Structure 1
Amino acid sequence: MSQNGNVQQLVLLSASSSNPFSTRIINPLNKNYVWQFRGQELQNGVPQVLEPIGEIPDSFFVAIHNTPLVHMIGFWNKQRQHVKAIVPGHISAVCTDPSGNFIIAAIAETLHVWSSLTRELINIVKSQFLPITCLKASCDGKFVVSGAEDGTVVVHELTELVAWTKIQTKAEPFLRYTQHSAKITDLHITSSNQPRILSVCANHTAIVYSIYAKCLLIRIVEDYPIFSCCMDPAESKIFLGLEDGNITVASLSKKQLKREEQFSINDSLGPITRLNKKHSDRITKLAVSFDGSILVSCDVTGQYNIWDIPSGSCFATDSLQGPIITAKFIQAWPSVFDSEFIPPKPNSQSFHKQISSEIFNIPAVSLKEIEVEKSDQHMKNALQKLLDNMQKENQSNNASEANDTTSAELRAQIATLQEERDALKKANVELYDMCQNLIVDD
């Protein structure tokens, strides 16, 4: 947490390089490294993709370039967990659900779904007709979106991917659109209740598509091929990274856009502008902070720039040795920054290559049952604690009421005794006066 109580925003960066410390976490405000990964577990392997497993991860997943080799490595530095495995093919893209229970990897045109806990292969789904180029999961964990070399974008429901049974062996897509005519180069899914997909391709086109409405919302055509994209959390700005190193910003709130309209990027007051050019080569990754105030842009040479979005100015520049393949804003994960973090129990189980008949109902059901059992146990513990507190409170109230009753009785007794004392005093005075009168009369 920051001093003002806001969530600290950090950036995870990783380059496709065999050099040490090619993966790091930085503070975007001062560009300082707060965590670095030496990379000795990769044994000089060059990462193709690197993805944290879950929203609050303990480990990260690495696929090695042009080989069917993967690594699962813990974030903590002491006695770090490391699982190395050979998988059925070269992985071109990977994503995980927010809970971190499932790892979805693209091998050629298929999606392979593993359990991150047991490493069992849950399902193999043919998602595309041509090899998959990029893969993203929605923030709520409901959808998995893949883009292919032919420009097709396919949306699957995660429950359909993990709930494979002997009866239902094919996961039907929730949505498929073919608005692009070239290879999909990047995807972004918004985090709103009505999620939208921002997809870009090498034929200069960016598209915003509604998942639930299943319709095209916006199409933007650029002068150069687009290789990266993202949107701010408010969904008011679209950022596009171009092949020549330029970054285009499309503001959706400046004016009402017509169905088809041309804009000049030289108009600084128009809805489509460009940031000052700071990159000399293709933009590979773009990421926006949680509050929408900071943009991180990365290119194929390893250079990354940090931008202030409101002013459009670049306030920090640094570089890694190799094309940057991961750029993601994160929070201060306990597995990295908590000195009292307790790592999970070591599990050296390798990633399975084939679906076992013994796991038809295990990953899709038992993992959720475990979560439900844990939730039930937490609920029982919370209810028991609440009942204990209520019982203690009732006992305290009863004791207080008893004390109040005792005090009232004592006060009544004291008042009675005081009245009796006053009556005795009065009787003594009268008796004294009567005796004195008798003596005087005698």
Structure 2
Amino acid sequence: MDAKDYLLTSSQYSQQFSACLWDYNTLNVMKLYRNGGTTASKCLELIGEDFILTAELAKPLLHVWLLNNQDVSKNIRLILPEPAACIAVCPKQVYLALGMTCKLYVWHISSGKLLSVQQKNYQPITCIKFSSDGEFVLVGGQDGMLVAYNLCDLVALSNNYLAQTDIGQVEPIYVKSDHSLPITDLHIGTFGKKSRFATVSSDQTCRLYNLLTGENLLTLVFDEPLFSVIFDACCWQLYVGGASGVVRTFSLQQPPRSVTHHVDKKTSLTFEGHTKKVTCLDLNSSNTVLATGSDDNFVFTWDIKSRQILKKIEHKAPITNIKFVMAYENFFADVVKPKTVINTLERNTDFGSDFKIAQIQLDDIELSDDENALDKQKIRESIKKENTRLRVINKQLYNAALEIRKKYCNNVRE
């Protein structure tokens, strides 16, 4: 295939497909992914070069497709405690994060282990994003609160050896309550911990932050509620989708001197074509084409330089997700051998005696016939204690390394 990337879309009409893969240059349909119900907004992800993952609207189900198979996988059953509002897969395809009501769930994908359940938001979670290096997890909610976690803290086995109710909650890196209404979308740059990230809200503001410190770098005030945001790979151009259907772009190369700046049609360039609110945005891999999805049932692709519409893709219902994806060979391969293993998701964080690493060690121990059940139990208990002790030590070493890094960074700045 000549195209370097394709466009993956979903809408609220699921009779035809749950997700559709388009060649956005020719409007040819490459694949239809069926039988997964209606894909909820912010619930469409790729797992490496192997799978498409979606969450079904208003149902506690995740659906998985192999890239080359248009029918949902029947061998992988992913049942959730409750319907998911948003999902995110870490860049290394190891962890899966979901927002369900006010709780953040983090699973280990290959084992299905539930590693963490956090509840910092007071109202339902609306969006989750991993940083490009996988070190940070950002969570936005209807309460206008943004919570930033260190992924290592969320998945540390020393914390999760006991039930979540016993160990308490992980302390976030920082919490921001700058928005007065729900956070509707957020986007993180591609420079790891040195990135910026942006949030938009129904309170008509877009806020730009430093990812590492949480410092508010810029606040843009618009004249309408905002529902989607993205900026290019260089973090030079910011694109914001509003309730009126207009997408506005703002240059970050020459930011205003004041932290707060009011944006109107005179001070920003616009992409005008949609008739209803723009719910999702994405840029292709070369940052030359912008894709927008709206409640008017259309997906538009735009030429960035001229701000002209290139193609219009009509759906039968409001758009829920759009995503540019690389043109992987697995989309058209006869046989796909997945590099990632997906296991059934567990419902609690208490590993107990079924914790796989400890169980493998126990199975490798050969006991003679004259050793009784009491001896076996003692061996099990000693291995459990040793595992717990080692995990605590690893956690302490990690915390010490973080403190040294912070101290070193502060000295360098001074």
Contact 2:221 2:261 in 1 (8 A): no
Which residue does the alignment assign to 2:185?
A: 186
Say whether residues 1:311 and 2:306 are aligned partners: yes
| Paired position in structure 2 for 1:27 | 23
Cα pair distance change 1:222/1:264, threshold 3 Å: closer
CA contact 1:58–1:335 (8 Å) conserved in 2: yes
Bigger mean CA deviation after superposition, 87-96 or 26-35: 26-35
In structure 1, the residue matched to 2:170 is: 171
Relative to structure 1, is the Cα distance of residues 252 and 151 closer, same or farther in structure 2, using a 3 angstrom cutoff? same
Deviations 1:29-57 (A, max 9, x none): 222222221x12x3xx3222533243x24
C-alpha distance in 1 between matches for 2:287 and 2:340: 37
Whether contact under 8 Å (1:335, 1:343) holds in the other structure is no
Residue 53 to residue 123, structure 1, CA distance change in 2 (3 Å): farther
Are the aligned partners of 1:156 and 1:175 in contact in 2 as well (CA < 8 Å)?
A: yes
1:130 is aligned to: 123
TM-score under structure 2 normalisation?
A: 0.77
Matched residue of 1:265: which SS?
Answer: coil
Three-state SS of the structure 2 residue aligned to 1:290 is: coil
Structure 2 residue runs of 5 or longer lacking an equivalent are 361-414
- Kindly report which structure 2 residues correspond to 1:109-128, keeping only aligned pairs within 5 A, or say none: 109-128=102-121
Check whether the contact 1:22–1:321 (CA below 8 A) recurs between aligned residues: no
1:112-169 CA distances to partner (integer Å, 9 max, x unpaired)?
A: 1122222222221113222101111112111111101110111111111111334755
Name the SS of the counterpart of 1:311 in structure 2: coil
1:196 touches 1:208 (CA, 8 Å); kept in 2? Answer: yes
Alpha carbons of 1:65 and 1:11: their partners in 2 closer, same or farther (altered >3 Å)?
same
Q: Superposition pairs for residues 344-355 of structure 1, below 5 Å?
A: 349-355=343-349
State the AA in 1 paired with 2:298. Q
| Greater Cα offset, 76-85 or 168-177 | 76-85
SS state of the match for residue 326, structure 1? strand
Q: Provide closer, same or farther for how the CA distance between residues 341 and 215 of structure 1 changes in structure 2, counting only shifts above 3 A.
A: same
Q: In the alignment, residue 235 of structure 2 is paired with which amino acid?
A: E
Farther-moved stretch of structure 1 (196-205 vs 157-166): 157-166
User: Are 2:287 and 1:292 aligned?
Assistant: yes
Corresponding position: 1:250 with 2:250? yes
**CA separation in 1, counterparts of 2:231 and 2:70?**
37
2:328 counterpart letter in structure 1: W
Distance in 1 (CA, whole Å) between partners of 2:273 and 2:54 is 29
CA contact (8 A) 2:109 2:341 kept: no
- Is 2:135 the partner of 1:142? yes
Residue 378 of structure 2: aligned partner: none
1:114 partner letter: W
* Secondary structure, aligned partner of 1:150: coil
Partner of 2:81: 88
Q: Percent identity?
A: 23
Q: Which amino acid aligns with 1:308?
A: D
Specify whether residues 261 and 126 from structure 1 end up closer, same or farther in structure 2 by C-alpha distance, changes over 3 A only: closer
Q: CA deviation at 1:17?
A: 2.4
CA distance in 1 between partners of 2:160 and 2:327 (Å): 38
Q: Summarize the Cα distance change of 1:354–1:27 in structure 2 as closer, same or farther, 3 Å threshold.
A: same
Corresponding position of 1:407: none
Q: Distance in 1 between matches of 2:46 and 2:82?
A: 20
**Does the Cα contact within 8 Å between 1:57 and 1:100 map onto a contact in 2?**
no
Q: Is the 8 A contact 1:122 1:359 kept in 2?
A: no
Is the contact made by 1:227 and 1:282 (CA closer than 8 Å) also made in structure 2? yes
2:108 corresponds to which letter in structure 1?
S
Q: How far apart, in 1, do the equivalents of 2:222 and 2:105 lie? A: 34
The one-letter code matched in structure 2 to 1:66 is A
Q: For residue 371 of structure 2, what is the aligned residue in structure 1? A: none
Counterpart position of 1:229: 229
Contact 1:53–1:59 (Cα < 8 Å) also in 2 = yes
**1:30 & 1:11 partners in 2: Cα distance?**
11
When residues 247 and 359 of structure 1 are mapped into structure 2, their CA distance, relative to the original with a 3 A threshold, is farther
Deviations 1:288-344 (A, max 9, x none): 122211100000232110000011111111122222222112111233134453246
Amino acid at match of 1:70: L
2: CA distance, partners of 1:95 / 1:229:
16
Alpha-carbon distance change, 115 to 329 in structure 1, aligned in 2, over 3 angstroms:
same
Which of 7, 11, 14 pairs up with 1:15?
Answer: 11
Of the two, which has the highest radius of gyration? 1
Larger RCO, structure (CA 8 Å, separation 6 or more): 2
Deviations 1:376-434 (A, max 9, x none): xxxxxxxxxxxxxxxxxxxxxxxxxxxxxxxxxxxxxxxxxxxxxxxxxxxxxxxxxxx
Is the 2:219–2:261 Cα contact (8 Å) retained in structure 1?
Answer: no
Q: Which has the higher helix share?
A: 1
Partner of 1:427: none
**Alpha-carbon deviation of 1:61?**
2.4
* Separation (CA, whole Å) in 2 of partners of 1:325 and 1:186: 13
